[in-house]
Amino acid sequence: MNTPDGTAESRHERLIAEYFAMWVTRDFAAFDSLFTADCHYEECYGPVYDGLGELHSWIDAMLARQTVSDWTIHEFIHAEDGRTVTVTWTFSDDQSTFDGVSIIRFAASDRIAGIREFEATHQRRHPYRTAPGDAV
């Protein structure tokens, strides 16, 4: 979050961070103010949700079966269009930890209009190193 306060970039970063924090705090009271009514959300493992109604149903189902312990943002990458932000992150819940990337599109209203997530294995390895720190 390295942009000056008040810029579109800093507003978008703040809104994304607020959304991620909702999963950890389990407080979605401000959710509707972050997303457009017709938002489109694609989870990293396949499910797709269209509109606030489907998103609320998904959130309610997840809160009943999942506890998120951490969702750490590593990097924000802003597209030249001023409306798209790519975010790298690590997600942990009561069952797993994984890394991911979200491509987040904002509407002219500065609300989130779409999210597309991708997942990566959290554990990294270097199969061609002979010893830690050595390159082959």
Summarised one tens digit per residue, pLDDT across range 46-91 is 999 999 999 999 999 999 999 999 999 999 999 999 999 999 999 9
User: Would 133 be classed as within a structural domain?
Assistant: no
Residue 30 lies in a domain: yes
Boundaries of domain holding 66: 8-121
Residue % of the chain over a pLDDT of 70 = 92
Residue 136 lies in a domain: no
Q: Is residue 46 part of a domain?
A: yes
User: Which of 79, 106, 90 lies closest to 14 in space, CA to CA?
Assistant: 106
Q: What is the rounded CA–CA span in Å between residue 81 and residue 74?
A: 21
Residue 92 DSSP class: E
Q: Give me the number of domains the chain comprises.
A: 1
Task: Report if residue 64 sits inside a domain.
Answer: yes
In a domain? residue 126: no
Q: Is residue 28 part of a domain?
A: yes
Tell me if the pTM is above 0.85.
Answer: yes
Indicate which CATH number applies to the domain containing 76.
3.10.450.50
Q: What is the pLDDT of residue 1?
A: 38
